[in-house]
Chains A and B, each alone.
Chain A
Amino acid sequence: MCGIAGIIHRGATGNIGGEMSSMLQSLRHRGPDSTGFAIYGVPTSGEMIMRFKVAEQEEARHGFAIVDKLVARRAEVDKRIESMGGEIVKAEQVTDYALRYHIKFDGDLKRFADYIEDVEGAEILSIGDALELIKDLGDASRVVEQYGLSDFTGTHAIGHTRMATESDVDIRSAHPYWAYPFRDIAVVHNGQLTNYWKSRRALEHRGHRFVSNCDSELIAVYIADRQSRGQPLEEAMQDSITELDGVFTYLVATHDSLGMAKDVMAAKPMVLYESDDFIALASEEVAIRSIFPEEIDTTDPYEGEVRVWHT
């Protein structure tokens, strides 16, 4: 089933960590397997933030040797960042397997990401000036506590609660997905894509990489592909409505915008609250009510509808 949510403060910042936490916890019944956040903080000039992991949660639980392995993998990642001309400004070990780095790098981001992900167990969750992508197993309250997100200040965010269907319960199959290798673009999705393999093969032939077998990742890669060809976000999302087959509602976030697209059957839910200074979207209104207990006007976006809002 899965639940998705998105918020955007227009012209301001807010406690997006706390807000998304409340919204996603309200959607827990739609999928308790994993929870993920793509949150957009206030950028630090000249620096990017890289969120990555060096093992799956399951792998990190087993064997005495794993601790040494994780240390070795992190050291190898550090070495490769420096060998690519990057600089690690600040490094945080968030969990045994998840890390958050402030880095300086102005080279080819695709080569950079590919080289780091060549390290055994390494997967880059996100790279961006503002984007930080956090995802792990369990419900929102667990992930928020584990990663210390309850007071995260920023402009906008998207999130996801996952009920695993066509792929495993692991971090790599959890949402959101970073639109590798484009900084600051992330996607969450509720639904099923029925032309997944056909579309995936076409995108792989164009040089894109997939880290999972989850159909939602395809949307991120699809958007990345369109961005690489210079297509504006809203136009790419419009095209996705006809080119992606199936039933879906998805949200895309970039460094300064939040987009929503709904399939032509309108088969997957989405509720929208829109005001001059704040936008909230969620699979169920109960999530919006978790941050707006007072009466507000909400609507359902229609079939084939694409909307994009800016900060």
Chain B
Amino acid sequence: MAHLDDKPQDDKSHEMGMHTEQLAGRTQQVFFSPTEEDNFLYAGAFEVDFNKRAEIDAKEMTASEINLKIRELMADGHGTIVIKNPLAKHSLGVGILNRLQLYFEGSLGYFGIGLIDGPNVRVKGRVGWSFAENMMAGTVIVEKNAGSCFGAAIRGGDLVCRGDVGARTGIDQKGGTIIVGGRTGAFSGFMMQRGRMVVLGNAGKNLGDSMYDGTIYVGGEIADLGVDAVPGEMTELDVKWLTEKLALYELKAPKGVEKMQKIVSGKMLWNYDNLEPTEKKMVL
């Protein structure tokens, strides 16, 4: 078994399917530097204490009222917030830009916890379309199923659904890791640009269609691959990474991680070479 820590970052990402070509021309991408503290200061981010706990009964509250209440509690230093009776309301828990333990004791509707950067979220129920869209960092676990566009355009963090998810999972994914315990629908990984997606069940048709980069691992059957998506070779590093990552969430590949199929981009795009710091933190 290879030792992950012994290899330079470029080697690790290359062997796991990501391109490492250096840019020669112009790019519009601006990367955060972890050494520049100002890059990680947000307006509306709060210092919180995980031991300070609060509960909200959302039954009679609107989405705006719930989100404002979460903000008020965070401003007051609460680091653990439990939302009871979310009743599949839309757009709950969005725009949280600091560490927080956030628990939803029920299901969420569309656009739940979008635009987050840092919180650890656990949802006991199901989530609707576009859950965790544009997530930057944090750890999110959904205990039941999820709708379409799960983890659309995420850039970092770990996003886990223990059940089945709908179509277009990880569309436009730019980093981070998406883990699906069950099956995923059509066009998952569509225009994926970075990061990793792990599907333990079956994948619908057009998997990885038009993907630029990134890696998709599938434990079940793949209906078919989309344009530009090609099978990749599973390496020891892949096996090691999958084993460690799945163990974090107490998940197992039905036939073992060694038997998982690996899908990568079949084309080279020269603007997608370097990992971002947020992703570097999460890789391995």
In the complex, what residues of B have CB within 8 A of residue A219's CB?
none
Please determine whether B167 and A266 come into contact, CB atoms closer than 8 angstroms: yes
Residue of B nearest to A286 (CB): B88
B148-170 at interface with A (beta carbon < 8 Å):
148, 163-168
In the complex, what residues of B have CB within 8 A of residue A300's CB?
145-148, 164-166, 185
| Stretch of B124-132, B225-233, B256-264, B268-276 on the interface side | B124-132
B186 at the interface (CB under 8 A from A): yes
Please determine whether B186 and A302 come into contact, CB atoms closer than 8 angstroms: yes
B74-125 at interface with A (beta carbon < 8 Å):
85, 87-90, 106-107, 109-110, 124-125
In the complex, what residues of A have CB within 8 A of residue B212's CB?
none
Minimum distance in angstroms from B64 CB to a CB of chain A: 13
In the complex, what residues of A have CB within 8 A of residue B168's CB?
266
Residue of A nearest to B166 (CB): A300
In the complex, what residues of B have CB within 8 A of residue A286's CB?
87-90, 109
Please determine whether B187 and A265 come into contact, CB atoms closer than 8 angstroms: yes
A258-311 at interface with B (beta carbon < 8 Å):
264-267, 269, 271, 284-286, 288-289, 293, 295, 297-300, 302-303
A284 to B126, CA, bound (A): 12
B245 at the interface (CB under 8 A from A): no
B240 at the interface (CB under 8 A from A): no
In the complex, what residues of B have CB within 8 A of residue A295's CB?
106-107, 124-125
Please determine whether B186 and A299 come into contact, CB atoms closer than 8 angstroms: no
Q: Pick the contact of B166 from A288, A297, A302 — CB < 8 Å?
A: A302
Minimum distance in angstroms from B262 CB to a CB of chain A: 23
Please determine whether A298 and B87 come into contact, CB atoms closer than 8 angstroms: no
Minimum distance in angstroms from B130 CB to a CB of chain A: 10
A289 to B86, CA, bound (A): 10
A142 to B166, CA, bound (A): 34
Please determine whether A298 and B167 come into contact, CB atoms closer than 8 angstroms: no
Please determine whether A265 and B89 come into contact, CB atoms closer than 8 angstroms: no
A293 to B124, CA, bound (A): 15
A284-B107 contact in complex given A266-B166, A297-B126, C-beta closer than 8 Å: no
Q: Pick the contact of A285 from B126, B185, B187 — CB < 8 Å?
A: B126
In the complex, what residues of A have CB within 8 A of residue B163's CB?
299
Please determine whether A303 and B126 come into contact, CB atoms closer than 8 angstroms: no
In the complex, what residues of A have CB within 8 A of residue B187's CB?
265-266
Residue of A nearest to B89 (CB): A286
In the complex, what residues of B have CB within 8 A of residue A264's CB?
186
Please determine whether B128 and A284 come into contact, CB atoms closer than 8 angstroms: yes
A110-160 at interface with B (beta carbon < 8 Å):
none
A302 to B223, CA, bound (A): 13
Please determine whether A269 and B147 come into contact, CB atoms closer than 8 angstroms: yes
Please determine whether A266 and B186 come into contact, CB atoms closer than 8 angstroms: yes
In the complex, what residues of B have CB within 8 A of residue A265's CB?
167, 186-187
B12 at the interface (CB under 8 A from A): no
Please determine whether A285 and B107 come into contact, CB atoms closer than 8 angstroms: yes
Please determine whether B185 and A303 come into contact, CB atoms closer than 8 angstroms: yes
B220 at the interface (CB under 8 A from A): no
B71 at the interface (CB under 8 A from A): no
Minimum distance in angstroms from B265 CB to a CB of chain A: 22
B144 at the interface (CB under 8 A from A): yes
B266 at the interface (CB under 8 A from A): no
Please determine whether A284 and B88 come into contact, CB atoms closer than 8 angstroms: yes
Contact string against A for B residues 169-192, beta-carbon threshold 8 Å, 1 for contact and 0 otherwise? 000000000000000011100000
Residue of A nearest to B186 (CB): A303
Please determine whether A303 and B107 come into contact, CB atoms closer than 8 angstroms: no
A295 to B126, CA, bound (A): 9
Q: Pick the contact of B204 from A271, A293, A302 — CB < 8 Å?
A: A302
Specify which of B89, B90, B106, B185 lies most central, judged by the most chain A CB atoms within 10 Å of its CB: B185
Minimum distance in angstroms from A92 CB to a CB of chain B: 37
Please determine whether A289 and B107 come into contact, CB atoms closer than 8 angstroms: yes
B205 at the interface (CB under 8 A from A): yes
Binding site for A on B (CB under 8 A): 59, 85, 87-90, 106-107, 109-110, 124-126, 128-129, 144-148, 163-168, 185-187, 204-205
Binding site for B on A (CB under 8 A): 264-267, 269, 271, 284-286, 288-289, 293, 295, 297-300, 302-303
Question: Can you name 10 A-B pairs with beta carbons within 8 Å?
Answer: A266-B148, A269-B128, A284-B88, A284-B90, A285-B88, A289-B88, A295-B106, A298-B107, A300-B146, A303-B185
